[in-house]
């Protein structure tokens, strides 16, 4: 008997450097998402199921009610399970490093070193409350001041209690300078058909050595990194109400079919499904 495919719903909200997503899965078969990385810090809270990540060379189980945390620029992949026996709901928020850095600088009243978090999950009821308060101010369309205060409270508590300046691995900003120039170039030209020769020249390396060093530094190959950038930007454009056809073209995909294939692979839902379920707040 054919296994029923799980239905996935998503509601999303975005602002400068922040993307909030609320996912809901019915029971059924699911397709595991591939490993990826992103510039933003990622935080997640599951309401009714245990989470799991492949991260930093190990499998990390995230107990229900614990806040998961993926560091900026680190390769990871969600659970590789292919079936959900029961429905699952969870909240995700992606926050650009500039916000954490701003809060850290203001707490210290000076410019501080890059922040590092050594753990993959935190069991802290106060932190969970602040996380959910931030979600609530957004989904209830509270004032901008309400949202700003909620963000400040969440990040300041997180940084004061869990951030470390001792870095066991190098975050993006302290990686090899030559490769980071190509990373910046890809961010600025993510929608263009960039050649390996061009990227290697920017890094001042042979194509062979560039591919090897890029993957060692960022965890994925240059082409995979570019695709992830395109999908991240596509989500933001869809949240602005731009049509799927236009988003496909704006983000550099060959056609809508090509765009849909990669979007589903990295997000878990199709562009149509993502656009249909979004909730946009000013």
| Spatial contact of 205 and 213, defined as CB atoms under 8 Å apart | yes
Q: Is the pLDDT of residue 256 over 80?
A: yes
262-281: average pLDDT? 77
Mean pLDDT computed over 111-124: 83
d(CA 102, CA 96): 11
Cα 180 → chain centroid: 19
- What phi and psi values does residue 122 have, to the nearest 5 degrees? -130, 125
Mean pLDDT of 82-96: 90
Q: Contact at 8 Å (CB) between 37 and 232?
A: no
Whether 117 and 162 have beta carbons less than 8 Å apart is answered as: yes
CB 68 within 8 A of CB 62: yes
Residue linked to tokens 């933001």: 236
Question: Is the confidence at residue 163, as pLDDT, over 60?
Answer: yes
What is the pLDDT at residue 167? 42
- Report pTM: 0.74
Domain segments of the chain as ranges:
8-162, 173-267
Q: What CATH class is the domain 173-267? A: mainly alpha
Question: Confidence band (pLDDT; 50, 70, 90) for 211?
Answer: confident
Query: Taking all residues of the chain, what is their mean pLDDT, rounded to a whole number?
Result: 85
Kindly indicate the confidence band of residue 103, based on its pLDDT and cuts at 50, 70 and 90: confident
Q: What band does 31 get if pLDDT is binned at 50, 70 and 90?
A: confident
CATH 2.60.120.10 for domain 8-162, yes or no, is yes
pLDDT of residue 220: 86
What value does the mean pLDDT take over residues 67-94?
89
């Amino acid at each position: 008997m054919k296994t029923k495919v799980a239905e996935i719903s998503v509601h999303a909200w975005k602002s400068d450097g922040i993307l909030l997503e609320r996912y809901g899965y019915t029971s059924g078969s699911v397709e595991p998402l591939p490993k990826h990385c992103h510039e933003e810090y990622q935080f997640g809270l599951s309401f009714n199921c245990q989470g799991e990540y492949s991260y930093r060379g190990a499998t990390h189980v995230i107990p229900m009610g614990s806040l998961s945390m993926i560091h900026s620029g680190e390769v990871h992949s969600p659970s590789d399970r292919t079936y959900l026996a029961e429905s699952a709901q969870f909240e995700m928020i992606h926050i650009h490093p500039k916000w954490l850095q701003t809060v850290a600088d203001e707490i210290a009243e000076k410019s501080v070193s890059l922040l590092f978090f050594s753990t993959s999950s935190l069991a802290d009821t106060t932190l969970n409350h602040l996380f959910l308060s931030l979600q609530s101010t957004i989904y209830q369309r509270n004032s901008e001041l309400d949202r700003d205060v909620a963000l400040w409270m969440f990040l300041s508590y997180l940084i004061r209690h869990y951030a470390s300046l001792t870095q066991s691995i190098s975050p993006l900003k302290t990686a090899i300078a030559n490769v980071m120039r190509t990373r910046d170039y890809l961010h600025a030209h993510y929608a263009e058909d960039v050649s390996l020769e061009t990227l290697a020249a920017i890094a001042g390396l042979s194509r062979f050595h560039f591919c090897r060093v890029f993957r060692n530094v960022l965890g994925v190959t240059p082409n995979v990194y570019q695709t992830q950038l395109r999908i991240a930007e596509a989500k933001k454009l869809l949240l602005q109400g731009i049509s799927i056809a236009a988003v496909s073209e704006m983000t550099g995909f060959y056609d809508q079919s090509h765009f849909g294939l990669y979007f589903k692979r990295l997000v878990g839902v199709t562009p149509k499904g993502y656009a249909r379920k979004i909730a946009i707040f000013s």
